[in-house]
Amino acid sequence: MGMTVSLGSRYNHGMSNAALSAIFEQMADVMEILGEDRFRINSYRKVARVIAETPTDVRVLLEGGQLADMPGIGKSTLAKIDEFVKTGVITAHQELLARIPPSLLDLLRIPGVGPKSVKTLHQELHVGSIADLKQALDDGLVETLPGFGAKKAAAIRRGIEFLEQAAGRIRLDQAVAAAQLVVAYLQGLPGVDRVVPAGSLRRCAETIGDVDILVVGWGLPHQDPSGPRDRWGKPHPTNEPTPEQIIESFTKAPFVERVLGAGGTKGSAIIRTETTPVQVDVRVVPPESLGAALQYFTGSKAHNVRLREIAIKAKLKLNEYGLFQGDKMAAGATEEEIYEKMGLDFVDPLLREDRGEIQAARNHTLPQLVRLQDIRGDFHAHTTATDGSASLEEMAQAAKERGYEFLCITDHSQSTVIANGQSPQRLARQIEQIHKLNAKLKGITLLAGAEVDILAGGALDFENELLADLDFVIASIHSALGSPRERVTTRTLKAMDNPYVTCIGHPTGRVIGYREAMDLDLPAVIEHAAQTNTALEVNADPSRLDLKDVHCKMAIEAGVKLALGTDAHSTASLALMPFGVATAARGWATQADVLNALTLPKLQSWLTTKRP
């Protein structure tokens, strides 16, 4: 798959705001690569930011005339936005793009490579693509460039590796959206009984290569021995579509962009979704094999390999059609009976990664995993006080509608200027507002919290005196994420020493497919979290999932509590909680490991345990 420039945005603003912001950002990038006027570059970046952070659709603002009053939006910018709204493109943008080879922009996707570096690489070494850059690195040329050096060359090499690993894989939420589209369509086809997602999607892996979907295609076979037969030689009801016909219908679905292969019982296609093209594999399976097929195609491959070893030892044969003893089918219709016949407890798909689950299934020691129903509240939410799009009241109402007991408001602190972080005075006023609101609210309690920046030396962005007025303090690193291991680790450990810090927010700072994790010493962080009674966040935003599954498992084994937070910037994004729950559960989390499962009184008492 070739690299293309994505104009997508991480945030759920109106589609046109995100697209427009990305265009201004790209114009600034291209101008910087071309070495043009600094002032105009900065002003384009400002416009990009203003548009991205505006909750209202630019089309509405343009029509209402408010756009002209917004900071950084001058006459020529206004004309460009007007052109975009009317035509979907900006001529000045197209002209800029025409002045550089398109592959040059791919370089910007490498973590640690900005437009200034691209300019130098292009001018000095004639690097025009990622392939060129790899060659230049191998030839030892990059480290000799002014302002580069061996360290930066090594960082670029790591960045390219990161990008190549991510290539072709999509985020879990994007896969879910694709699956929903396909499942709804397949379910509407005549003769389709059940449609079930399998593969890495069913396991809720953090990234997905392709979406696998199983279809149970027809009801009970009819008894006429001379009637039509399916491809397994079984009699097939004449009035039901054959697997071939179901696959053909799939390939003709309106969202299918390109068919990769179709025939028999399997079809593969690239489908269009709102955010990205997605490969989907559809397989039709007979009902008596659904369990076996589900087991096989859910994987993971590593889990399946282990399972097959166990089957062989027991003189059984396990494949996607069933579990066989000689010619006799011992199990196949459900996954439960397959595990049972092999002497194993049922293994939740979230655990099927060959990380000890098979041994635990044999010893009856699998954990009772935390579920969405166990979650009584959300620990990470922003409001209009900083960069969120909903008020305190709106967020409280939305949390109540989700059936929560509590919602913790954690707006940004002053140092995160880009997100309109709050001054101590503004936070103090917000705490008061929350207390007043709680007196009125029924059926939901807001906790007064903050997402406080961990400053460069590990100190916090607010004084302890103010932090003491909060119920819940998330301490997060938002700057200098690329610092050496020692520095980012000490910074995190020091923040945990603060008695008012409840948890560390998105501890590794990664953004999936976009930014590498900090080079954090996680065992040290987890050990210190246990010592200081600090929780670690599982940020449920599917572009973060931070801590990730394996780190959740390490934390739980050390006795550290997990605090799940959606990092919601709108009422809608409170719905991201299932991604956090799945990530914690993939780390073997039970109810007892997750602070969100505590009742409010129990939570409030837990929150006092660390405080002086």
Query: What residues make contact with ligand DGT under the rule CB under 6 A?
Result: 199-200, 205, 208-210, 212, 296-297, 299-301, 304-305
| Among the listed residues 354, 402, 349, the one whose alpha carbon sits nearest the alpha carbon of residue 376 | 402
Q: Which two tokens mark 108?
A: 């910007």
Binding mask 225-264 for Ca ion (x = CB under 5 A): ----------------------------------------
Query: Is the bond leading into 600 cis (omega within 30 degrees of zero)?
Result: no
Contact set with Zn ion (CB under 5 A): 451, 567
Question: Which residues, 6+ apart, have CB-to-CB distance to 95 below 8 Å?
Answer: none
Which of ligand DGT, Zn ion, Ca ion, none binds 567 (CB below 5-8 Å, type-dependent)? Zn ion
Closest distance to ligand DGT from the beta carbon of 322 (Å): 15
The interface partner of residue 89, options being ligand DGT, Zn ion, Ca ion, none and the CB cut-off 5 to 8 Å by kind, is none
H-type helices in 314-468, by residue range? 335-341, 357-362, 392-401, 424-440, 464-467
Question: Is 367 an interacting residue with respect to Ca ion (CB under 5 A)?
Answer: no
Helix and strand totals (H; E) in the chain: 24, 17
CB of 475 to Zn ion, least distance (A): 11
Dihedral angle, C-alpha 309, 294, 356, 308, nearest 10 °: 0
Residue 297: contacted member of Ca ion, ligand DGT, Zn ion, none (CB under 5 to 8 Å, by partner type) = ligand DGT
Nearer to ligand DGT, 68 or 305 (CB): 305
Shortest Cβ distance from residue 352 to ligand DGT (Å)?
8
Minimum distance of Ca ion from residue 215's CB (angstroms): 14
Residue 590: which of 542, 548, 555, 544 has the closest Cα? 555
461 contributes a contact to Ca ion by CB under 5 A: no
Instruction: Choose between 297 and 339: whose C-beta lies nearer to ligand DGT.
Output: 297
17 vs 410, beta carbon nearer Zn ion: 410
Nearer to ligand DGT, 206 or 537 (CB): 206
Please state the closest distance from residue 389 (CB atom) to ligand DGT, in A: 32
> Residue 281 CB, nearest distance to ligand DGT (Å)?
6
Nearer to ligand DGT, 303 or 569 (CB): 303
Task: Choose one: 98-106, 280-288, 442-450, 570-578; the region binding Ca ion (CB under 5 A).
Answer: 280-288
Based on CB atoms, which residue is closest to ligand DGT, 281 or 567?
281
The span from the CA of 591 to the CA of 582, in Å, is 12
451 binds, among Ca ion, Zn ion, ligand DGT, none (CB under 5 to 8 A by kind): Zn ion
Residue for token digits 């059940």?
194
Using the minimum distance from each CB to Ca ion, give the nearer residue, 200 or 386. Answer: 200
In the bound state with Zn ion, the residue whose beta carbon lies nearer, of 357 and 451, is: 451
Nearer to Ca ion, 294 or 366 (CB): 294
Please give the Cα distance from 187 to 365 (Å, whole number): 37
* Integer angstrom CA distances of residue 356 from 313, 319, 337, 340, 361: 19, 22, 21, 18, 9
What is each CA distance from 113 to 8, 110, 117, in whole angstroms? 19, 6, 6
Q: Shortest gap between Cβ of 303 and ligand DGT (angstroms)? A: 8
3-state secondary structure of 186: helix
Q: Print the binding letters for residues 281-320 with Ca ion: x by CB under 5 A, - otherwise.
A: x---------------------------------------
Tokens linked to 30: 């291209």
Give residue number: closest CB to ligand DGT: 299
- The one of ligand DGT, Ca ion, Zn ion, none whose footprint includes residue 304, by CB under 5 to 8 A per kind, is ligand DGT
Q: Least distance from C-beta 183 to ligand DGT, angstroms? A: 16
In the bound complex, what is the minimum distance in angstroms from residue 33's beta carbon to Zn ion? 32
Residue with tokens 């029509």: 63
Q: Provide the minimum distance between the beta carbon of 175 and Ca ion in the complex, in angstroms, as a whole number.
A: 9
Q: How far apart are CA 555 and CA 564, in angstroms?
A: 13
Query: Which of the stretches 142-150, 231-239, 274-282, 300-308 binds Ca ion when contact is defined by CB under 5 A?
Result: 274-282
Nearer to ligand DGT, 148 or 296 (CB): 296
Q: What is the 3-state secondary structure (H, E, C) of 212-268?
A: EEEEECCCCCCCCCCCCECCCCCECCCCCCCHHHHHHHHHCCCCEEEEEEEECCEEE
Work out whether the CA dihedral 134, 140, 146, 150 comes out positive or negative.
positive
Question: What are 535's strand-pairing partners?
Answer: 503
The arrangement of strands across the sheet holding 317-319 comes to 317-319, 322-325, 328-331
Q: Is 576 in contact with 548 (CB distance < 8 Å)?
A: no
Q: Which is nearer to Ca ion, 260 or 530 (CB)?
A: 260
- DSSP 8-state class, residue 460: B
Q: Which is nearer to Ca ion, 77 or 265 (by Cβ)?
A: 265
Positions in 201-220 near Ca ion (CB under 5 A): 210, 212
CA-based nearest residue to 71, from 420, 407, 588, 310 = 420
Mask for 183-202, x = binds Ca ion (CB under 5 A): ----------------xx--
Q: Which residues pair with 473 in a beta bridge?
A: 450
Which uninterrupted H or E stretch holds 450?
Answer: strand 445-453
Binding site for Ca ion (CB under 5 A): 199-200, 210, 212, 281
